[in-house]
């Protein structure tokens, strides 16, 4: 589109200054918000090319803040950390700054944080999962703030999502465990109310049980906050039941690490005495002994793609396109084989 | 101050509605930003008491956004998670919403995020550690945005801090290790440039060595990003040195968990073959095998007090008061005793 004869464009300035076009526009619109060293580089490029800021008029009319908001359920245990880090890196490359809020898994707190981020001028929002009061989506539509969901994928939801199929992923893991001979299955889940990830993972286990002649009603998942202490306590309790489960499926890696601690407290060996699995494949899964068999979620890919899609929605004023990402089962050392795997 | 005969105050409304006074003022100033259920409760209280919004005029003049910004170096590994969670809970009780940004330990990113949070109207900022370009403090002073530092304590710094003495804390740990008989001491540190916590922890180890007749110049700390992978690689490298260290002090728990993994890779037993310590006492320190000897940082107390102080600075337009919090050594299972402890 540009050649040396044509007047220099914003793109030319950005290329010469080695910054994004968004950063160039920020230098012009709100220089106060750009680091001095970056501003100097952009100013040099503008002078070198003889770029006239008048060309930027259309860009300025966009009135963007170059701020994206994300609300995650928790900052603890790094469940969302890696995906969010990739989300932020990709946003940064496109000239956007990320502001994050953590709702502590509370719907009321999330609603307040959504309103705050909108009031503070966020150009777009990333939310985790689809389960929330429909009025929130009404509000965001009224405010013309694009919203994208991650960590969950739904074809039918009102807003687009870059995520994965929590139900199918957990079903795959449970089926693999059943194929290894596990029939006495227990589950320690996150709290499923207003948490589609937790709810769908329970459904996934039930799907697998039903498909293999086990009664899904016997699963009776325990629902607890996603923390190590809860996982340990729930595990100790489960082990007092008779007959004892041979396998405890956990709703995420944090609960599974708690279950490992519970086993340690009881003097039970994992996986010899009982098998334990997680979900997420965060770093925690590999620092514990034994390393956890879990479901690997492509956190970095999800974060990166979510940023690309959300910025596209903001800049091109278009509907977002959902994408389902693949998960994989990571078989490590926390599960025992109870019988010949051929069936 | 109030009795039944006097006209109802904002405090009375807040008490009856079971919300903070800040929430009542938000219901009056920007009802759009308050959850519907909360608004309904406040409206009922206003009607019940016959409170007239005119009384709120002075409150409205404050022009606050009830938004506090925090910039942390990383969201990974939950290093800052617990303290930040307590910070947020305390802010929430006082009617403030927290927006967080993560700089990935990059000074340029932090500067941009500070400018963004100020541009988005943050009433006050929490920053981690004191090391940064003095121009940033000039900028924040010009903008009249109160700033408080946490995770570090300094009597001489330009802005107040609610933190701990990183140098003295690490010195105590190192002295305890020397008392246990460790003389061949190595250190895996975070990157100390523009990170006073990392820098002061190195100094603390050197202080302890010098005080006990060991040459501090022989420490030669390795500086690496705070991640498990870096810690493991650095540990493997250190173990190839001759003579091999009997103790590897790590700049934080994440590096120490990496060192444990490195030991596992080399087939070395901890603490029989080599001792390893961390710093922070995040949850990670207790989920690994063996559990880490580390420095306990009062994360929740720090977060809570930082919120109280920062809100005080915002609401009372006063200078902040610094406070030094105590750390404690947590002796667990990752350190061996090399000789009789009496000296």
First-last CA distance in chain A:
62
DSSP B278: -
In Å, how far is B108's CA from the nearest CA of chain A? 7
Please name the residue ranges forming H helices in chain A: 10-17, 21-29, 36-49, 57-60, 81-93, 107-119, 134-142, 166-179, 196-211, 228-238, 253-266, 284-287, 299-316
What is the maximum alpha-carbon separation in chain B?
82
In Å, how far is A131's CA from the nearest CA of chain B? 17
What domains sit in chain B, N to C, each tagged with a CATH number?
Answer: 10-61 (1.10.260.40), 67-164+298-326 (3.40.50.2300), 166-297 (3.40.50.2300)
Which of chain A's residues have a Cβ under 8 Å away from the Cβ of B109? 92
Q: CB A289 to CB B284 under 8 A? A: no
Q: What is the pLDDT of residue B6?
A: 65
Pairing of β B294-296 and β B328-330: antiparallel
Q: CB B38 to CB A108 under 8 A? A: yes
Q: What is the pLDDT along chain A (343 residues), one digit of tens a residue?
A: 444 456 677 788 888 998 988 888 788 767 777 888 888 888 888 878 877 655 444 444 457 889 999 999 998 878 899 999 999 999 999 989 999 999 999 999 999 999 999 988 999 999 999 999 999 999 999 999 999 999 999 999 999 999 999 999 999 999 999 999 999 999 999 999 999 999 999 999 999 999 999 999 999 999 999 999 999 999 999 999 999 999 999 999 999 999 999 999 999 999 999 999 999 999 999 999 999 999 999 999 999 999 999 999 999 999 999 999 999 999 999 999 997 544 4
**Closest Cβ–Cβ partner in B88, B115, B261 for A33:** B115
**Closest Cβ–Cβ partner in B35, B101, B261 for A100:** B101
Q: ipTM, 2 decimals?
A: 0.81
Helix (H) or strand (E) holding B255: helix B253-266
First-last CA distance in chain B:
62
CA proximity to A333, closest of A253, A267, A288, A271:
A271
Which of chain B's residues have a Cβ under 8 Å away from the Cβ of A287? 228, 257, 260-261, 284, 287-288
CA separation for the pair A107, A198 (Å, rounded): 15
Q: Are A122 and A64 in contact (CB under 8 A)?
A: no
In chain A, the residue whose alpha carbon lies closest to the alpha carbon of B82 is: A76
**Closest Cβ–Cβ partner in B76, B101, B228 for A81:** B76
**Neighbouring C-beta atoms of residue A328, cutoff 10 Å:** 14
Which of chain A's residues have a Cβ under 8 Å away from the Cβ of B135? 36
**Neighbouring C-beta atoms of residue B296, cutoff 10 Å:** 16
Question: Span B312-334, mean pLDDT?
Answer: 96
User: pLDDT digit string (tens) for B68-116?
Assistant: 999 999 988 788 999 999 999 999 999 899 999 999 999 999 999 999 9
Tell me the pLDDT of chain B averaged across its residues. Answer: 91
CA separation for the pair A65, A62 (Å, rounded): 9
**Closest Cβ–Cβ partner in A33, A84, A111 for B119:** A33
In Å, how far is A90's CA from the nearest CA of chain B? 13
CA separation for the pair B9, A209 (Å, rounded): 60
Q: CB A288 to CB B283 under 8 A? A: no
Least confident range of A7-21, A205-219, B236-250, B311-325: A7-21
Q: Are A137 and A159 in contact (CB under 8 A)?
A: yes
Q: What is the pLDDT of residue A177?
A: 98
């Amino acid at each position: 589109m540009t050649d040396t004869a044509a007047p220099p464009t914003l793109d030319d300035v950005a290329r010469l200054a080695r910054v994004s076009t968004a950063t160039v526009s920020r230098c012009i619109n709100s220089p106060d918000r750009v680091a001095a060293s970056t501003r100097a580089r952009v100013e040099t490029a503008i002078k070198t090319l003889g770029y006239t800021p008048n060309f930027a008029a259309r860009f300025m009319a966009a009135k963007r803040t170059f701020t994206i908001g994300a609300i995650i359920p928790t900052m603890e245990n790094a469940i969302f950390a890696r995906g969010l880090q990739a989300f932020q890196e990709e946003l940064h490359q496109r000239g956007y700054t990320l502001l994050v809020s953590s709702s502590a898994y509370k719907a009321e707190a999330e609603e307040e944080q959504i309103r705050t981020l909108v009031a503070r001028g966020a150009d777009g929002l990333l939310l985790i999962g689809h389960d929330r009061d429909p009025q929130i989506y009404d509000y965001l539509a009224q405010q013309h703030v694009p919203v994208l969901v991650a960590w969950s994928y739904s074809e039918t939801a009102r807003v687009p999502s870059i995520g994965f199929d929590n139900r199918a992923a957990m079903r795959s893991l449970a089926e693999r465990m059943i194929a290894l001979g596990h029939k006495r299955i227990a589950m320690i889940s996150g709290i499923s109310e207003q948490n589609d990830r937790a709810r769908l993972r329970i459904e996934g286990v039930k799907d697998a049980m039903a498909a293999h002649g086990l009664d899904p009603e016997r699963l009776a998942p325990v629902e607890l906050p996603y923390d190590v202490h809860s996982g340990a306590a729930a595990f100790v309790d489960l082990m007092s039941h008779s007959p004892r489960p041979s396998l405890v499926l956990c709703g995420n890696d944090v609960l599974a690490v708690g279950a490992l601690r519970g086993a340690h407290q009881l003097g039970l060996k994992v996986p010899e005495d009982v098998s334990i699995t997680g979900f997420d494949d965060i770093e925690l899964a590999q620092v514990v002994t034994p390393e956890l068999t879990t479901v690997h979620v492509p956190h970095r890919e999800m974060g990166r793609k979510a940023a690309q899609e959300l910025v596209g929605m903001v800049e091109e004023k278009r509907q977002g396109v959902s994408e389902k990402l693949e998960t994989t089962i990571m078989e490590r050392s926390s599960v025992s084989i109870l019988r010949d795997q051929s069936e």
